[in-house]
Amino acid sequence: MTSDQLAQGIIRQASRFIGLREVKPNADWDNPNTAGPDRALVDELRALMRQSPWEPGWAYCAAFAESMVLAALRSLAATPEQIKRWQATMTPHCVTSAGNFRERGLLSANAEPGAIWLARHGSTNNGHAGIVTAVRGASMATIEGNTSLDPSSDAKEREGDWITNRIRFLKGSGTLNTLGFITPAAILKLIGV
């Protein structure tokens, strides 16, 4: 598996969940633009995130990103041992995950498609995460869980009830400050590919 294959796989997996909106805070979702409940897709998302280990009711931006990498690794025939290495380092907590990757020399200052963006909310221990889909100048396009569609809402920076596309500044926005990026190449190095 190459870093390009992994990047494409991560973005492909994350794209499948765009449009899901919380119907129960941080615990259940549905796409309001599709007829009927999206049970199979939601059950798949929940099962993937539970392996992070995320629990219903917890913020899920990092668990979403982690689970999209997990799904991509599985689709590219990663071994159980490689998947364990990923899961032992990435957590459902953004700031902790950034520290884990920084300690291993695997947290990049540069964004690229397929990378996980990790940010800190001000000087708190809270954060936010997303999956980078494109980089242009000082901005990046992302797919994020637990985010808002409305840039004027109180939830505009890190809390919200959607899985959707966003545009962010590379350095962060508002009180969100970028901690770094976990690139597909760093993920492959971590898992021993």
Cα separation, 21 vs 29, in Å, equals: 5
pLDDT per position as a tens digit, 10-54: 999 999 999 999 999 999 999 999 998 999 999 999 999 999 889
Cβ contact 156:134 at 8 Å? no
User: What's the pLDDT at 154?
Assistant: 57
DSSP state of 53: T
Q: Tokens 């973005």 — which residue?
A: 11
Q: 158 falls in which pLDDT band (50, 70, 90)? A: low
Cα separation, 164 vs 188, in Å, equals: 26
Cβ contact 157:174 at 8 Å? yes
What's this model's pTM, rounded to 2 decimal places? 0.95
Using a pLDDT cut of 90, give the percent of the chain over it.
89
User: What's the pLDDT at 68?
Assistant: 98
User: What's the pLDDT at 160?
Assistant: 84
Number of Cβ within a 10 Å radius of residue 25 = 11
- Domain ranges in the chain? 3-191
**Sign of the dihedral defined by the CA atoms of residues 72, 80, 163, 62, in that order:** negative
Q: 157 falls in which pLDDT band (50, 70, 90)? A: low
